[in-house]
Chains A and B, each alone.
Chain A
Amino acid sequence: MNGPFFINGWIGEEASLIFALFIGIAFGFFLERAGLGSAKKLASQFYGRDMTVFKMMFTAIITAMVGLFWFDYFGWLQLELVYLTPTFVAPQIIGGLVFGVGFIIGGYCPGTSCVAGATGSLDGWVNVIGMLAGILVFGELYPWLESFYNATPMGELTFVDYFNLPAGLMVFILVMIALGGFWLSEKIETKMANKDL
């Protein structure tokens, strides 16, 4: 029995929705535990005062990344069956910049706005409503955006393919970068703690 269980037919459509609910509960739980349901805590990341966003995000990324590597190595998970969002260079860079601007103005990202709303933050709900409006605007403008949306396609592409390195080495490099980032985050927090902006 190897993964992904859903794709390999070990669990059905209905069961997958039950998994979705419980995975979501765990996801929301950990976000709230770390304080990512708080707009002020999220925003502090960008003033160098509280780097929780970076620390939690990159710890999660490298934990899952190292896990995936070993699961694949031992044959527990067929990594080639896991869905990979195709790369479109220009819209993903521009989309990221736009996203970042909206993030610091509104104070949340999509998942954390839900956690904020669930813990009673009214601004979290207003942010969710804003997002629904933004998605509607995007959808209505889609006929005009479509050519840019599909510009600069590179297909399903990982760093392993792009740099043509062994997967283990690529994982090691990214883990080292993350550890360097954690060290730097601790330094920045100490330095910026009492600085006036």
Chain B
Amino acid sequence: MPFIRKTAEPYWNPYISGIGLGLVLLFTFLVMGRGIGASGAMTSVVATTANVISPQHAQANEFFRGYLGDGTVSPLKDWLVFEVIGVLIGGFLSGIFAGRTSIKIEKGTGISTNRRFQYAFIGGMIMAFGTKLARGCTSGQALTGGALMNVGSWLFMISLFAGAYAMAWFVRRLWI
């Protein structure tokens, strides 16, 4: 494909990108009366999968039941699921236009690929657990709730930066 560049373009200025993201968020509030999200879509996927494997088990669980609805429509026909499909498309396209979409593994120079995969998996598990406990992630809580001046969202945001800074020193060999 001729429009794929050989060398990656530099990233945009973070403040410019931030204004762009902020306007997307503002538009979402105006149109939908809610903000953006990410982890909620993943929860819908997990609840749906659990429901396919064992409907009895999934529906006995109050947490999953909240994501399954009344059974008249698929739990995947959900606003956040469609939004996250969009995120995948938007990220892919932006990467293509800038010559940054390619098969790769992001890691520091000091660790093996296997190690990186193990940490990516474990980190994902821990992060998802925190997300569910806090009722949202960096999108649904920090960005959305941040803009709404939501007290709980700001507590979550400050805590997540504190947690990551506190842990950073111990895992510096993963990245540096």
Contact = CB atoms under 8 A, between A and B. Distances in A.
B149 A174 contact: yes
Nearest to A11: B31
Contact of B18 (A16, A59, A86, A197): A59
B29 A82 contact: yes
B138 A3 contact: no
Nearest to A5: B31
B87 A47 contact: no
B1 interface: no
B79 to A, nearest CB: 5
Interface in B106-158: 106-108, 116-117, 119-158
B34 interface: yes
Per DSSP, chain A at the interface is helix
Interface string A23-48: 11111111111110111110111110
A158 interface: yes
A67 B4 CA distance: 36
Contact of A170 (B11, B126, B149): B149
Contacts of A103: 123, 127, 160, 163-164
B106 A139 contact: no
B107 A39 contact: yes
Contact size class for A?
Answer: 35 or more
Given A39-B107, A88-B135, A158-B150, A20 B80 contact: yes
A180 to B, nearest CB: 15
A37 B95 contact: yes
A74 B6 CA distance: 48
A176 interface: no
Given A57-B143, A95-B134, A130-B128, A100 B166 contact: yes
Nearest to A86: B152
Given A4-B31, A119-B91, A110 B39 contact: yes
B155 A65 contact: no
A47 B88 CA distance: 28
Nearest to B146: A61
B117 A123 contact: yes
Contacts of B45: 132
A113 B79 CA distance: 19
Interface in A82-99: 82-89, 91-99
B155 A104 contact: no
Given A54-B161, A116-B106, 17 more contacts: A16-B32, A23-B24, A24-B90, A27-B86, A30-B24, A38-B106, A82-B148, A83-B33, A87-B151, A89-B152, A92-B156, A96-B158, A106-B121, A114-B84, A132-B42, A138-B128, A159-B151
23 contacts: A24-B87, A27-B36, A33-B98, A39-B120, A43-B175, A55-B18, A63-B25, A76-B30, A82-B34, A94-B159, A102-B127, A105-B122, A110-B39, A113-B124, A116-B106, A118-B92, A119-B95, A126-B124, A127-B121, A129-B121, A136-B50, A157-B150, A162-B151
Interface of A: 3-7, 11, 16-35, 37-41, 43-47, 51-52, 54-65, 67-68, 71, 76-77, 81-89, 91-124, 126-140, 142-143, 145-146, 148-149, 154, 157-160, 162, 170-171, 174, 182, 197
